Structure 1
């Protein structure tokens, strides 16, 4: 039954104000393609694909075991994949982001959850089916990352919508021990 499965992924949800700024900047590039909805802007940490709805609680438990620190992400590079995906990325991926991904992958793998075998590459998708890249674009977006989330990708008449299922705060440098999920 279709309602028994969800298409899931862990991600950093882009804060609304930052997402609006990125969307405005993207529009100023005047590039063809299908824009990712402003409300859907995110940076994927781990794509889980189709999962039984009953497994959501297990995913939440695995994520609640992650003890990673908050960090600042500077998106300053515009790139384009061969398939036409235009994206923003950091020139230098913060070590704390890599540690967060490593902990998530480790926890998910220990629960026998199949993950993509490609190496993690931090990026925020901007446009799909973009045939070209802006040559003179100079992105510069600062993102203070303080939480990560589990999302479900849902289809509706307007396309994809990413629904946040659960969020976990990241530790500040001065924090130790446990924290509560929101």
Structure 2
């Protein structure tokens, strides 16, 4: 069993912006490692080998159209104790992809979130509050690939490694 999720990677320039925002918010929890910054499409949880193969086969059939999403709101989720840069789903392509990915997870008997899809990048964990007087940048994600990530701890902390990617199509 492996812990997996589908998501998108920010560009190197966006990682620089996100790292600067993390520094501005340094009093708010433990910053997420730069290499782990991502936007989750759907968290899948613990996945068996058989489910993983079915997942990999089925992702190829998802409506993987390019999209744009603006992340420009600094939010604190008290229950999860995380600080995030968040946005609103406006692009129908992202809305459709998130819906279809959730349906795929349900069909394979994988984790189902109790929350609606909210595009976000987690900046820090174990946060206690929203930092005052921090103005977040506006980051426009326009990924060209959907990634399957493996979440694991090789002994030096949690790592999110991309184990497969699928290109997003124009229009």
The one of 79, 86, 95 aligned to 2:92: 95
Query: Does the residue aligned with 2:153 lie in a helix, a strand or coil?
Result: strand
State the structure with more CA Rg.
1
- Tell me: CA distance 1:93–1:38, structure 2 relative to 1, closer, same or farther (3 Å): farther
What's the CA shift string for 1:103-162, capped at 9, x where partnerless?
Answer: 112233233334223222221110111222123222211221222111110112221001
Give me the TM-score of the superposition, normalised by structure 2. Answer: 0.89
RMSD: 1.8
Query: Does the residue aligned with 1:156 lie in a helix, a strand or coil?
Result: coil
Separation in 1, partners of 2:128, 2:167: 38
Q: How does 1:72-91 map to 2 (within 5 A)?
A: 72-83=68-79, 84-91=81-88
Q: Structure 1: which 5+ runs fail to align?
A: 174-182
Range with bigger deviation, 161-170 or 138-147: 138-147
The one of 11, 17, 33 aligned to 1:15: 11
Separation in 1, partners of 2:128, 2:114: 27
Q: How does 1:101-140 map to 2 (within 5 A)?
A: 101-139=98-136, 140=138
Match for residue 52 of structure 2?
Answer: 56
Match for residue 178 of structure 1?
Answer: none
Range with bigger deviation, 114-123 or 126-135: 114-123
1:75 and 1:90 in contact (8 A); partners too = yes
What is the Cα deviation at residue 39 of structure 1?
0.7
1:12 and 1:147 in contact (8 A); partners too = yes
1:85 and 1:125 in contact (8 A); partners too = yes
What is the Cα deviation at residue 91 of structure 1?
4.2
Range with bigger deviation, 82-91 or 129-138: 129-138
What's the CA shift string for 1:65-85, capped at 9, x where partnerless?
Answer: 012321122111000011421
